[in-house]
A and B are shown apart, each in its own frame.
Chain A
Amino acid sequence: MSDNGDLDRTKIELRGVGKRFERHRQEPLTVLDSVDLTVAEKGFLSIVGPSGSGKSTLLFMIAGLEAPTSGEVLVEGQPIKGPSADRGVVFQEDAIFPWRTVRRNVEYGLALRGVPKQERRERVDRYLELVKLTGFEGLYPRQLSGGMKKRVAIAEVLVNEPQVLLLDEPFGALDYVTKISLQEELGRIWQRARLTTVMVTHDIEEALFLSDRVVVLRDGGLRYDVTVPFERPRPHELRNEPRFTELKERLWSEIGPAARSAPVVENQA
């Protein structure tokens, strides 16, 4: 890969990040317990783990939407102070406004920052083309399929050209066929845009297919860290190759029921 230099630069750093929830008349619930993690510039990192492991919380802390109860999140070496348009989030439940057309949804962030109308139009057109929604500009969300809504949700984030892309179980609610084709499309889009990406998912195959690196989050901390060696672009057939399925099995052993009893801390990266 030509951009190995880039991969060495740290874009996001988590230092001892923890999250505890105070509970009424109960012990506080510790969701995350001192997580250290760095994300390389222009890298694609996936965080996988069982549900309730705090992966979305971790992602929202990088977004600046939730504050850690201990430790800090740094982007480009600076502690973050809250949400910012530099860090775009694609949410699990589509964050698209039903009262706005596709075009007006995608241009929301641009309009908010006062981008002139003409430029707005051009950028929206460009990104709608990228997610293959040209021709659907005038439709309202209720007229779109689940997959199309997801494309809108991706376009409305990418159109701002953020430095960091955060994906919270982006394809979790879609049917299998739509999910697979959107994964492949995201891979294609990502290869063109090449922006630092953190994805949270419970789908191991999805994580392996899209990322450079996968970490397992379990029992409040990172339990496994693996570099995904497959070259891009990644063809659909990759999913059935032995090197892919072996890695998938390995990750499953870290997340699945077997992992619960014997926590393994290991680093292959």
Chain B
Amino acid sequence: MTTGRVSRLAWMLAGVVLFFAAWELAAVYIDSVNPRADRIFPHWSSILTDSVRELEAFVPFGDTATGYGAALDVLLEHSLVTMRRVFLGTFAGIAVGVLAGLAMAYSRVVFHLLNPILNLVRTAPLLALIPLFVLWFSGREVGIVLFVAFAVFVMMFVATYHAAQNVPRAQRWFALTMGAKKLEMFRSVVVPGMIPELFGQIRIVFALAWSFALGAEFTGAQKGLGFLMIQSERFGFLGRVIVVVLLFTIYAVVVDTILMALRRRTLRWAPVDG
């Protein structure tokens, strides 16, 4: 590990510590003004103990397990449900979005066909489409996965088209002067050339996919972290909501770290950004 990475890590930790400390200070202050305010601005001490344990309330009907063990089981079970939705939806959305974006960049006919639809969809507020997906699939699993996939698809579609357009003309033309036909030029120049830009968008999409799944789970799910969250919120258990938010944050950071490691391994040739 280089000193640069050590100091970057140190700064990151310092930032996290600062955030938690500021929160705790605010909680202490609010407590001193109104002792009953712990419900709306809880201390970390109660979030990380009581609020976590209280999630035992979500053990399936008939299960008699209680305490931290039961609570962690609940978190694990609902996490796996959400992760499945996020990953299935994201992978499907990326695959279809990239293919559609490439087709649009490759063919003028496809461009003229898809461009009006694209302009319509990209401006539509994606989250507003959740009720449609929920109703169409009557709250079933496939509806949530398809919504995540659709939202990811829209983002990747636009990004792929632009990434392909941004491959420098000189590189594309050079391939043609070397005798490459259009498809060969596309395969050997446009596709590899757009990968760094596409990768940036994949990071963004993965981060947002958690929000897409969460949003769909708010309205249309009987399971998943979004379900835990909306139920806890409904009964005013803010601590439990914060536990789920923390969990989401950790998952998103882990996925992003994996993606960055992947980028470092596979895109060593690309100029480093973000």
Contacts and interface: CB of A to CB of B under 8 A. Distances in A.
A97 B170 contact: no
B134 to A, nearest CB: 43
B270 interface: yes
Nearest to B176: A83
Given A109-B179, A112-B179, A160-B178, A65 B173 contact: yes
B192 A84 contact: no
B166 interface: no
B45 to A, nearest CB: 50
A109 B180 CA distance: 8
Given A93-B168, A99-B270, A65 B176 contact: yes
B38 to A, nearest CB: 54
A40 interface: no
Contacts of A11: none
Interface in A61-96: 63-65, 82-85, 87-89, 91-96
B11 interface: no
Nearest to B167: A97
Contacts of B188: 108, 112
A37 B193 CA distance: 37
Nearest to A105: B174
A109 B173 CA distance: 12
B3 interface: no
Residue among B178, B184, B195 facing the most chain A CB atoms (10 A cut-off): B178
Residue among A60, A84, A95, A100 facing the most chain B CB atoms (10 A cut-off): A95
A142 interface: yes
Nearest to B272: A142
A86 to B, nearest CB: 9
Contact of B170 (A83, A85, A92, A142): A92
A85 B177 contact: yes
B174 A89 contact: yes
B30 interface: no
Nearest to A92: B170
A84 B189 CA distance: 17
A160 B174 CA distance: 12
Ordered nearest first, which 3 A-B pairs have the shortest CB separation?
A95-B174, A109-B178, A91-B170
Contacts of B174: 89, 91, 95, 156
A99 B192 contact: yes
B269 interface: yes
Given A94-B170, A142-B270, 14 more contacts: A65-B176, A83-B173, A84-B177, A85-B177, A89-B173, A91-B170, A92-B170, A95-B171, A95-B174, A97-B193, A98-B193, A108-B175, A108-B188, A112-B179
Given A98-B269, A99-B269, A140-B269, A112 B180 contact: yes
A113 interface: yes
Q: How many interface residues does chain B have, given as a range?
A: 20 to 34
A109 B178 CA distance: 5
B271 interface: yes
Contacts of A83: 173, 176-177, 179
Interface of A: 60, 63-65, 82-85, 87-89, 91-100, 108-109, 112-113, 140-142, 156, 160
Interface of B: 168, 170-171, 173-180, 184, 188-189, 192-193, 195, 268-271
Nearest to A85: B179
Contacts of A64: 177
Contact of A97 (B171, B177, B184): B171
Contacts of A91: 170, 173-174
Nearest to B179: A85
B9 to A, nearest CB: 26
Contacts of A108: 175, 178, 188
B107 to A, nearest CB: 18
Given A98-B270, A142-B269, A88 B177 contact: yes
Contacts of A99: 192-193, 195, 269-270
Contacts of B173: 60, 63, 65, 83, 89, 91, 95
Contacts of A65: 173, 176-177
25 contacts: A63-B173, A64-B177, A65-B176, A65-B177, A83-B176, A83-B179, A85-B177, A85-B178, A87-B177, A89-B177, A92-B170, A93-B170, A95-B174, A97-B171, A97-B189, A98-B193, A98-B271, A99-B192, A99-B193, A99-B269, A108-B178, A112-B179, A112-B180, A112-B184, A142-B270
Residue among B173, B175, B192, B195 facing the most chain A CB atoms (10 A cut-off): B173
B180 A63 contact: no
A91 B269 CA distance: 21
Contacts of A96: 171
Nearest to B174: A95
